[in-house]
Amino acid sequence: MFKKILFTSLFLAVLSSLSGCAVNRATASVTPGSNLEAMKTFYVVKSPKDEKDVDQLIKDFLVKKGYSVTTGPELTPPYQADGVVTYIDKWFWDITMYMLELTINIRQPTNNFPVAVGNSFHTSLTRKSPPEMVDEVLTNIYKNAK
């Protein structure tokens, strides 16, 4: 009887630890009254800690969608664009480095007020490549804008 309880306990412990590794979350929201369709030019602010050129991945996605995009350091508003894109990328080591989480904000160029925000979080079992994370976040933002 003791062996059966011990085996069941160990089995449940292993099962719960495995299920905790497979986390996948993708969210997006747009500020009510915002018009993302009116934004045709963007300025992507390169994060000072970005060593993986995530700003270029965001730029590439937006250019493929037909937008005019420039990148560079953070500037004092107003920006010479219809929208300003900022992001936070978090990386994690699990045999190899991978992007654990990406948050992208689209802001007004005059005052940096957030117009839209999207987030993607994938642990090692559901990991995506950085371009896939950018695609997931921005696609969800534009889906919620409609």
More confident residue, 130 or 16: 130
Is 56 contained in some domain?
yes
- pTM here is 0.81
In a domain, 87, yes or no: yes
**In CATH, what number is assigned to the domain containing residue 38?**
3.30.160.670
**Residue 77 domain flag:** yes
Q: Residue 15: is its pLDDT beyond 80?
A: no
Question: In this structure, is residue 117 part of a structural domain?
Answer: yes
Question: Does residue 108 carry a pLDDT above 90?
Answer: yes
56-89 b/e (C-beta count within 10 Å ≥ 16 → b): bbbbebbeeeebebeeeeeeeeebebbbbbbbeb
Distance CA 62, CA 83 (A): 12
How many separate domains does the chain show? 1
15 within some domain: no
Tell me the residue range of the domain where 65 lies.
24-145
* 90 part of a folded domain: yes
The mean per-residue pLDDT over the stretch 101-127 comes to 93
Model confidence pLDDT, tens digit, residues 19-46: 445 678 889 999 998 999 999 999 999 9
Partner residues linked to 107 by β-bridges: 84, 114
